[in-house]
Structure 1
């Protein structure tokens, strides 16, 4: 589905996390930063502004850490949202490491749940570990099974999908990844390459990054296999292959991400002032006045990243199924909002030749 359709108000709940994943794009130097939680008044005002402007009932929870560590504020936001809007659609991304009480809350309150996991336990635990170095795979597996059981019992129309990171450690094991989650009842999987840390450091690329063409080749094999099983299998480079688009992603609408540091960012990769991705920051919470002060020049700048302004991409046969691809990753890796991201470009062109495009809207938006 054209990712621009994801007009969602996202709450970056906290920078606290219970895992320490090797390839996390959050700058690892910031482990000793003060831990923050989203301000409730700011969250309410941001949602109110969003709804007034868009009339969209789509809400999301994410974090530069792990959102389920702050269930209380999510609960309060949802209570406010239901009073303000009525019927709402709620999405959450989680690392899958939570207790039974949290699991039941997720079942009762979330419509679209994306769980991060990299495949069978022995593969997952190579990188996705707790703070003390223990693997997270067994707990993730247990929670997926229990969520599937609750979903079956309640007959709730709930999406339980997987978001996997692909590196050299699992790029050629995607069939095993698909089989593993298929056996757990999962029918929707998005996978993406390890991407660069959000950092000004030139050495921002992480150990384990996989070559783009190898990723594309192995993704294609996995895509065909998943399709034979009735599993949706996608990646950020193909997120607009279902329909022609003029903009790549929701960050260019811009769709708000309300952060613990009191800023409004249009990209989940930018969550605090001073970020190398400052271009995506277009609002700031004024606690004294209880208003959000928006930078309308920034908003127009973001909206300008359209096909017509991507000079390096002129004439590309895939431009309307790419539109420059992920704006956050591209800016982080090139330092320019309009510059071509060669890493993603290679994947788009390879898969564009192999996959049919514009054949109907995808059932799932990229997380």
Structure 2
């Protein structure tokens, strides 16, 4: 157990189980007694949550092509130029085979899936999965929106800046106006979310992005740019400065939520879940080992990878004919745990942040066993999460009714 000092309160935290308690003066005696009585159960639950292989999600990249050319794209340009794609028959075969793995969620992902939307929409109508699609939106038409709504699909729209000139610079001319049109078409649709990639061109604009989206979407993901590609590394902002602006956006989202326009920054909510309900986390990057090749896989025309970030690293891929054997593969990625990373093994937050992302670290360092380049960013976010819990704003970020139980002990 480690005792952490904050401004006006203290936290006691067990990094192995994420058991914690907040107190302002002295730790109540019943806290440690409760911890000792339940320690073995908590350790086993965390062990099972971290290491069990359960493919509940498949990301399918039905095409290697894209109608944009974002500098930080994780898919190598030579693969995008090659442009292979899946036919309707190939997609149908994959969805049939995924049933044997117990997959429940299918997400059509980039490059740009709407380049083959005819095949995608056709198979969506034939199989009973929980569907999602991640798109830059350029090819989205109003009738497509109607179809996706009818399927109750989760739709993620890439959108990086609240300012037209910055957005069009990052994503392509006309992208800002297209996103504004898409937001009107969806008209408050509950399963619409925005994905913002934090980079050196937009990290100071995150608060304004929340202002723009409040009342239009309920969830925005603000992901630090991954350094899987050289372009991504060139666009990486200073982690500490990026954290400052990210946390301003968090506070702004809480303010809007309190004033009747609920909007949640999903990355921050997931960190909060890592503290208050660690087995309920949705995003699998904040876990060690992460969800790559353990909770989800990425399927491309070239083969199967533990995660989309590994596309381009042939040494991590397997053939499409090995889909049913996926649970026996990808052990190298699953062995990347915080206990094997020198800078992480003694960190009190090691099982809250998970030291993401193995593909990013591997691309830059040639090994997965080094700390995340955004380490200081995640530390600042975790400390803000404890502050939000302490001041009673948890309910304005996390849906407490969806959680089975939250233990919070105060003096």
DSSP-derived class of the 1:23 partner:
coil
1:251 to 292, 295, 299: 292
Tell me which residue corresponds to 2:117.
71
Alpha-carbon distance in 2 for matches of 1:166, 1:6: 28
Higher mean C-alpha displacement, 312-321 vs 108-117? 108-117
Residue 53 of structure 1: how far off its partner (Å)? 2.7
Tell me which residue corresponds to 2:244.
217
CA gap of 1:91–1:297, structure 2 versus 1, over 3 A, is closer
Tell me which residue corresponds to 1:260.
301
Ranges of 4+ aligned residues in structure 1 off by more than 3 Å? 2-6, 28-31, 39-50, 203-208, 237-241, 291-298, 306-312, 357-363
2:166 to 104, 123, 127: 123
1:328 to 351, 355, 359: 359
Structure 1 segment 306-317 matched on structure 2, within 5 A: 306-317=337-348
1:37 to 76, 79, 85: 85
Tell me which residue corresponds to 2:95.
47
CA gap of 1:118–1:339, structure 2 versus 1, over 3 A, is same
Tell me which residue corresponds to 1:137.
176
TM-score (norm 1): 0.78
CA gap of 1:214–1:340, structure 2 versus 1, over 3 A, is same
Tell me which residue corresponds to 2:309.
269
DSSP-derived class of the 1:20 partner:
coil
C-alpha contact 2:62 2:86 (8 A) present in aligned 1: yes
DSSP-derived class of the 2:166 partner:
helix
C-alpha contact 2:194 2:219 (8 A) present in aligned 1: yes
Alpha-carbon distance in 1 for matches of 2:237, 2:90: 39
Tell me which residue corresponds to 1:85.
none
Number of residue pairs matched by the alignment: 326
Cα-Cα RMSD: 3.0
Alpha-carbon distance in 1 for matches of 2:78, 2:85: 19
Tell me which residue corresponds to 1:304.
335
Tell me which residue corresponds to 1:167.
199
Residue 79 of structure 1: how far off its partner (Å)? 3.5
Higher mean C-alpha displacement, 308-317 vs 296-305? 296-305
C-alpha contact 1:251 1:327 (8 A) present in aligned 2: no
Alpha-carbon distance in 2 for matches of 1:344, 1:252: 22
Offset from partner CA, 1:74-107 (integer Å, 9 cap, x none) = 123324423xxxxx31111111222223232222
Q: Which has the higher helix share?
A: 2
Tell me which residue corresponds to 1:154.
none
Q: Which runs of 5+ in 1 are unaligned?
A: 83-87, 152-157
1:285 is aligned to 2:316: no
C-alpha contact 1:119 1:180 (8 A) present in aligned 2: no
Residue 114 of structure 1: how far off its partner (Å)? 0.9
Alpha-carbon distance in 2 for matches of 1:204, 1:17: 16
Alpha-carbon distance in 1 for matches of 2:379, 2:98: 35
Offset from partner CA, 1:281-336 (integer Å, 9 cap, x none) = 2x3124xxxx6474776433333233444444111100110222233323223322
Residue 113 of structure 1: how far off its partner (Å)? 0.9
1:94 is aligned to 2:138: no
CA gap of 1:336–1:41, structure 2 versus 1, over 3 A, is farther
Tell me which residue corresponds to 1:195.
226
CA gap of 1:49–1:256, structure 2 versus 1, over 3 A, is farther
Offset from partner CA, 1:232-259 (integer Å, 9 cap, x none) = 0133x87444123653532141522111
Tell me which residue corresponds to 2:109.
62
TM-score (norm 2): 0.70
Q: Which runs of 5+ in 2 are unaligned?
A: 1-45, 258-262, 280-286, 400-411
Alpha-carbon distance in 1 for matches of 2:234, 2:356: 23
DSSP-derived class of the 2:250 partner:
helix
1:14 to 63, 66, 91: 63
